[in-house]
Amino acid sequence: MKTYYSSAHLGHAPRQEFEHGTLNPAVEIPERAERVRASIEERNLGPILAPQEFDDAPIFQVHDRAFVGFLTHAYDEWRRDYPDGTSDALPSAWPVRGMRQRREGQIEAKLGSYGFDTASPITRGTWQAARMAANTALTAAQTIAEGERAVFALTRPPGHHAAHDLFGGYCYLNNVAIAAQFLTDRGLRSAVLDVDYHHGNGTQAIFYGRDDVLFVSIHADPSFAFPHFSGFADEKGEGAGEGFNLNLPLPAGTTWPDYSNALDPALSRIADFAPDVLLVSLGLDTFERDPISAFKLKSEDYLRMGRRI
């Protein structure tokens, strides 16, 4: 199987994130993707290839142009206002109920209007890494459209929390949504299966009102897990998209038997949808020793999951 990967992700190396009431060393760091790449090489799973370059058109099919412009220049604007060079850009205030969004003007206002958490720093290399991650997903999608049966896009930063005009959850551009839209624009019927520990709120939001892309997610119940405000079982889509969004939230401590049971309705719904292409948001933070998650899957469970899918 071909793997597409770009070393540009190494430039996105956040220092810290604010979580659980404290400022901590960043969790989503280059080592996570590098371990995956090294394992692919060690196990000789197939060639690791550089992605192609794509213009912005496929990204604008999913993301707001002004939002993309913000991401492109956010770090430079931050550095202009805070020139000491020791901090990454993080939002510190948000336009909650009764307040106005400000997507023009000072960088603090833009960060609060476009970002939704305190765990997604924008660093010197964030935009370049996010843009190349989108190229990586698009190259994989194009390879599938040309007839390849299966491809792995090793993308970092991840993407499934990024919405049409929001970043957060370590995500800046929604790679899987960009790839799904790219395939849809080429006449292919796409379904997205998200197996990350956290609900893919961004992917859900992008396709929530549509019936041409199915979104199915198995994740930790948002009653206790990030992103807290999205991913409940009663969120089934709206308008034309009603019935084309399926959330299967699970409790803390979930082990393989219960996770496997959740796969049954997930895969059944996908089979009923009969897609031409299945895109899997392969979050591995359901692992029993993941530092920010509370599921208990073991290494061998991912082989079982793969066979089932």
Q: Which of 78, 55, 80 is nearest to 68 (CA)?
A: 55
CA dist list (Å): 3 to 140, 155, 267, 299, 307? 8, 10, 24, 20, 19
Contact by Cβ (8 Å): 297, 259: yes
Query: Could you give the angle at which helices 126-145 and 65-81 cross, rounded to 10 degrees?
Result: 160
Indicate the DSSP class of residue 25.
Answer: E
CA dist list (Å): 182 to 58, 135, 145, 214, 216? 6, 11, 9, 15, 19
234 contacts: CB under 8 Å, gap ≥ 6? none
Q: Is the peptide bond before 249 cis (omega within 30 degrees of 0)?
A: no
> Which of 9, 161, 198, 199 is flagged as catalytic?
161
Token digits for 75?
């770090």
In SS3 terms, 126-167 reads as: HHHHHHHHHHHHHHHHHHHHCCCCCEEEECCCCCCCCECCEE
Contact by Cβ (8 Å): 6, 50: yes
- Number of Cβ atoms within 10 Å of the Cβ of 309: 14
- Burial of 19 (C-beta count, 10 Å sphere; 0-12/13-18/19+): middle
161 is catalytic: yes
**Rounded distance, CA 30 to CA 156, Å?**
8
**Rounded distance, CA 243 to CA 235, Å?**
9
Catalytic residues: 161
